[in-house]
């Protein structure tokens, strides 16, 4: 099993990254303020206008260290990668599956069924843990709708129907998202999903979490030899990581939504951690990103028991495990793709 290594987050936009031997050097105003050995770093993520030396980019490419540039609000900008590694036969088979509507639908149905299952589990857990603070009858109705949507997704016969089922189920799930916000209600509320740009604090947090999770899925798919840009449900579009967007569907609820709710309900983030721009966009402040990323990194090391492997796995390894299972299915080692369905 692959080992979960460190992700370095560069949150301050004034930092410059360079290379000294086998070390990452972090500088500000030409003064070194920190250095880290590269041998235990898996990923370097920068937010805002941060420079990096060509020597560091080359070393990261050589060692397979992901160097990612994000905007200050967490939107993906660019990624440095070296020579494409992976089994060419696996990728050729992936492309065949992507061009085969029956194969693509089979994989997509499993992924969306898992997404809806995990979303329903979140509602059921709210009923169990916070029944005295929420309208349990309303949550039970929404949960029942999601249960029926899972059956529809498993039995649907074309991709357009699957997208319709997923969209309707997502609308029902998000219709009670505001009820799951139990603290700081004056500053944190959810009326509807908006993302380009996010227009409130909750949507800013959700977009940031989804962007991080999609980056993890991209790296995981590449690490097992799959092409993250060729998906099964999300259609091909230049520059769009379609397969990563497919895979992240399984993790939106349990990895991202629950994390955002925890950050708010435990007051790890507050209204002071956000800025609102003239166009209405809401973004995390530098301190807000720091708090978010610190908690996100800590969460990645929590262990769960994987429902298919029946082994303990760190949360941060889940995208890699699912990418590995997907690769095994495409190679013909498994009869079907087993999505992540959290219990």
What pLDDT score was predicted for residue 205? Answer: 95
Asked if residue 74 has pLDDT above 80, the reply is: no
More confident call, 301 vs 261:
261
pLDDT in tens, 141-188: 999 999 999 999 999 999 999 999 999 999 999 999 999 999 999 999
Which tokens hold the place of 108? 């997509």
pLDDT above 90 coverage of the chain, percent? 52
pLDDT of residue 91: 92
Give the pLDDT band of residue 85 (cuts 50, 70, 90).
Answer: low
| pLDDT tens by residue, 222-238 | 888 899 999 999 887 77
pLDDT of residue 155: 93
pLDDT classification of 84: cutoffs 50, 70, 90: low
Instruction: Kindly state the percentage of the chain with pLDDT values over 70.
Output: 95
Q: Where are the alpha helices (DSSP H) in the chain?
A: 54-63, 88-99, 101-130, 136-155, 159-174, 201-223, 242-248, 258-265, 286-299, 318-331
Q: By the 8 A CB rule, do 323 and 224 touch?
A: yes
Between CA 285 and CA 13 the distance in angstroms is 12
Question: Is there a contact between 115 and 249 (Cβ–Cβ < 8 Å)?
Answer: yes
Q: How far is 41 from 169, CA to CA, in rounded Å?
A: 39
The three-point CA angle 222-110-304 to 5° equals 70
- The pLDDT score that the predictor gives to residue 108 is 95
Which tens digits make up the pLDDT trace of 296-307? 988 988 888 888
pLDDT at residue number 271: 93
- Asked whether the beta carbons of 46 and 79 are under 8 A apart, the reply is no
> Residue 263 — very low, low, confident or very high, per pLDDT cuts 50/70/90?
very high
What was the pLDDT predicted at 341? 92
| pLDDT score of 48 | 67
Q: pLDDT band at residue 310, thresholds of 50, 70 and 90?
A: confident
Q: Assign 131 a pLDDT band (cuts: 50, 70, 90).
A: confident
Q: What is the pLDDT of residue 49?
A: 64
Mean pLDDT of 314-343: 91
What strands lie across the sheet with 6-10, from one edge to the other?
6-10, 41-47, 66-70, 76-80
User: Tell me, what's the pLDDT at 119?
Assistant: 96
Question: Would you give the DSSP letter of residue 339?
Answer: -
Q: Tell me the per-residue pLDDT of 1-56, one tens digit each, with 9 for 90 and over.
A: 455 567 777 777 778 888 888 888 888 887 888 888 888 787 787 776 668 888 88
Q: How confident is the model at residue 202 (pLDDT cuts 50, 70, 90)?
A: very high
With a cut of 80, say whether residue 100 has pLDDT above it: yes
């Amino acid at each position: 099993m692959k080992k979960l290594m460190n992700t370095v987050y560069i949150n301050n936009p004034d930092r410059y990254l360079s290379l000294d031997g086998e070390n990452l050097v972090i500088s500000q105003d030409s003064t070194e303020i920190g250095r880290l050995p590269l041998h235990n770093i898996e990923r370097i993520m920068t937010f805002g206008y941060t420079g990096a030396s060509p020597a560091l980019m080359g070393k990261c490419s050589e060692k397979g260290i992901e160097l990612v540039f994000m905007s200050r609000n967490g939107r993906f900008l660019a990624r440095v990668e070296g020579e494409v590694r992976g089994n060419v036969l696996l990728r050729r088979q992936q492309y065949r599956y992507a061009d085969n509507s029956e194969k693509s639908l089979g994989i997509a149905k499993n992924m969306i069924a898992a997404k809806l299952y995990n979303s329903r589990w979140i509602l059921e857990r709210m009923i169990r843990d916070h029944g005295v603070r929420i309208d349990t009858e309303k949550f039970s109705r929404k949960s029942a709708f999601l249960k029926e949507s899972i059956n529809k997704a498993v039995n649907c016969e074309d991709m357009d129907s699957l997208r319709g089922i997923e969209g309707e189920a997502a609308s029902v799930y998000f219709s009670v998202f505001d009820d799951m916000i139990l603290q700081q209600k004056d500053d944190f509320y959810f009326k509807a999903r908006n993302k380009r740009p996010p227009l409130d604090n909750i949507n800013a947090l959700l977009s940031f979490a989804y962007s991080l999770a999609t980056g993890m899925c991209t790296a995981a798919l590449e690490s097992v030899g799959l092409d993250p840009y060729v998906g099964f449900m999300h259609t091909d579009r230049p520059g769009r990581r379609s397969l990563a967007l497919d895979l992240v569907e399984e993790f939106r609820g349990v990895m991202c939504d629950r994390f955002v709710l925890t950050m708010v309900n435990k007051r790890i983030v507050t209204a002071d951690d956000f800025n609102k721009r003239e166009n209405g966009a809401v973004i995390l402040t530098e301190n807000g990103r720091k708090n978010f990323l610190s908690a996100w990194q800590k969460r990645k090391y929590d262990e769960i028991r994987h429902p298919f492997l029946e082994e303990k796995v760190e949360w941060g390894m889940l995208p890699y495990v699912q990418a590995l299972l997907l690769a095994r299915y495409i190679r013909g080692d498994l009869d079907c793709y087993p999505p992540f369905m959290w219990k």
